[in-house]
Amino acid sequence: MSSEKIKILVVIAVLLALAYIIPHSTSFVVLLATRALVFAILAMSVDILLGFTGLASLGQAAYFGIGAYLAAIMTTRYHFGLNWDFWLLIFLGMLAGAALAAFFGLFAIRASNVYFLMITLALGQCVWGLAYRWSSLTGGDNGINVPVRPSFGLDLTNERTFFFLVYGFFIVSLLLLYILVRSPFGHSLAGIRERELRMRILGYNTWLHKYIAFVIAGAFGGLAGVLWAFTNGIVSPETVVLTTSVDALLMVVLGGAGTLVGGVVGAAIVFGVREYLSTLVPWWQYVLGGIYVLTILYLPSGLMGIPAHIRQWWIQKSKDKNPKKLASVTS
Amino acid sequence: MSTGADSNGRTPVLELRTLCKSFGGLQATRGVTLRVMPGDRKAIIGPNGAGKTTLFNLITGIYPVTSGQVMLFGRDVTSWRSDQRTRLGMARTFQVTSLFPKLTVLDNVLLAIQGLRQTKFVMWRFMSSYKEAYEKAYYLLEQAGFFDRKDVEVRNLSHGEQRQLEIVLGLASDPKILLLDEPAAGLSSGESTEMARFLMKLDPKLAILLIEHDMDVVFDVCAEISVLHFGELLETGTPEQIKKSQRVQEIYLGIG
């Protein structure tokens, strides 16, 4: 129990430090951090499925995309969401993500393992196809420019203020999802991840639990999408392309599945390497690839698993040093 | 009435009516008819491949039946899902240990307790705030002698401990009938004696249907034994009758 509290305190300390350090950095770093935080929300929605329910989804870009396109279309066509109704737009974005997930879930949740992965991939590609082909609505390949940001008392054109808005959304999402995974429902998801058949015999309608988790993940994907439209300033098929889904999944694996905050670490590394290292060297993709391979080979529990590894190693070392003393403790 | 009540007017907790199951050309279960009354302790024995586990999978709704009926507490549940059957008051354990290996012993039991409660859908409150569920879990763990190991991850328990925890999980939903699929599988003789003692201590009102290879456990725990052979129930009788039966010895022990 106490180790859990230490973890929470560390996370809070790091998040507070970020809130202090980043606004005092260059505007490039602020922009980078904002983008990473939006993707961190998307990565957490993937983690609900991958880390807590055991479902590897390769279609999370679909919900991200519907949120982003909704924001883009609403603001540019109807000038909706640029005022206090921004909060309504956030709600609608989550609703759209949830609704799309509720529809797709009917097909996807029937399958498991690699078949689930394939179906979510295929459904995600359907959304990409729509975004690409339905030019009258989505602007086709060119996408939609989102030139203005909402203003409601706050000056969101200021990158630092906008960072704090995204930061706030990230904190609230983290908190809500943390409560979710600690709730009885979250426990049931862990049970499904570990052994679904047993859960059915214990009286759980496992299909329904997975479906609800899928819809919730869709809602948070939609939220990240709305924020992305205003962060990026342009929404195009690039936003909903398969790479976005893969990125989100890899961020989770990199940071550590089943940790929630692992997604932030993953997002920070991916964006750091992609946006920062790419300005320095042309072979930055090899660095990212290398990090992925090494993590999966040597840290299957992700970067968040490093402290546990160190502790294990330390215990092992002290055990080797004085085996007698420890034996008497354990017995 | 079709509820199949006995002469005392009691409804059987479980009744199978000419239950059949085919996998392609293979008839795994052939016309099994069986009745378990409240508090009954029955065993099904039979050589490997006789279809014992298949029968359990039909009763619990993991496989759809080919023909025949499964009645639980007088209700036809033949087309029900597993979780719906469990909600009526049925529980089972598995031949191959089916626990949640990366969760702690306590979390395993809590999952089993939550299974039949509507609070399992609550996502805005911490699990740890459900004191009553925790108290029940502590009680169950104390009964089974697991209390000191409640924070151990299940994968770190010994095989014998995992077999016992299987049964604790089955009991957590307060079932009226418990289906035990080889509870003593892979246990040493000392451990299986302990298992038999553990089973005999259970609430006498609880009906138990047991599949077992370990004859000592069967003879200790059960008053009635049925013999399954190639998916068919051949004989039913007391342990004494089964021990003496020529036919059972022929098929089960393989001596002419």
Q: What is the pLDDT of residues B30-54, one digit of tens each?
A: 999 999 999 999 999 888 888 899 9
The residues, ordered by sequence, that sit 6+ positions from A30 with a Cβ below 8 Å of its Cβ are A22, A23, A159, A160, A163
Q: Residue A183: in which H helix or E strand, if any?
A: none
The closest of B202, B176, B200 to B92, measured between CA atoms, is: B176
Contact A199 B122 (CB under 8 A): no
Q: Note whether residue B83 is domain-resident.
A: yes
Q: Note whether residue B235 is domain-resident.
A: yes
C-alpha A296/C-alpha A266 separation (Å) is 13
Q: Note whether residue B9 is domain-resident.
A: no
Which domain, by its residues, includes B72? Answer: 14-253
Backbone torsions φ then ψ of B40, nearest 5 degrees? -65, 145
CA distances from B76 to A31, A215, B68 (A): 63, 34, 10
C-alpha B88/C-alpha B11 separation (Å) is 14
Q: pLDDT band for position A322 (50/70/90)?
A: low
Domain A28-300, CATH class in plain words: mainly alpha
pLDDT score for B67? 94
C-alpha A196/C-alpha B73 separation (Å) is 26
Q: pLDDT band for position A330 (50/70/90)?
A: very low
pLDDT tens profile A203-213: 999 999 999 99
Whether chain A has a CB inside 8 Å of the CB on B205: the answer is no
pLDDT of A328 higher than 50: no
pLDDT score for B7? 66
CB contacts < 8 A (A, B): 97
- Which candidate in B96, B123, B131 is best for mutational testing of the A interface (most A CBs within 10 A)? B123
C-alpha A183/C-alpha B222 separation (Å) is 41
Q: Which residues of chain B have pLDDT under 70?
A: 1-7, 252-256
Contact A184 B92 (CB under 8 A): no
Contact A204 B112 (CB under 8 A): no
Whether chain A has a CB inside 8 Å of the CB on B91: the answer is yes
pLDDT tens profile A23-50: 888 988 999 999 999 999 999 999 999 9
**Chain B residues touching A203 at Cβ < 8 A:** 83, 86-87, 115-116, 173
Q: Note whether residue B209 is domain-resident.
A: yes
pLDDT score for B256? 45
pLDDT of A186 higher than 50: yes
ipTM for the complex? 0.85
pLDDT score for A153? 79
How many angstroms away from the CA of A191 is the closest CA of chain B? 6
Quote the number of domains for chain B.
1
pLDDT score for B48? 82
CA A207 to chain centroid = 23
Q: Note whether residue B34 is domain-resident.
A: yes
pLDDT score for A23? 87
Of A179, A190, A195, the CB nearest to B98: A195
pLDDT of A244 higher than 60: yes
pLDDT of A331 higher than 50: no
pLDDT tens profile A83-120: 889 999 999 999 999 999 999 999 999 998 899 999 99
CATH number of domain containing B158: 3.40.50.300
Of B81, B112, B125, the CB nearest to A202: B112
Q: Note whether residue B4 is domain-resident.
A: no
Q: What is the mean pLDDT of residues A153-163?
A: 86
Q: What is the mean pLDDT of residues A2-22?
A: 88
pLDDT of A156 higher than 90: no
Domain coordinates of chain A in residue numbers? Answer: 28-300
Q: What is the mean pLDDT of chain A?
A: 91
pTM exceeds cut of 0.80: yes
Whether chain A has a CB inside 8 Å of the CB on B118: the answer is no
A223 with A89: CB under 8 angstroms? Answer: no
Angle A294-A295-A300 from CA coordinates, rounded to 5° = 130
Contact B83 A195 (CB under 8 A): no
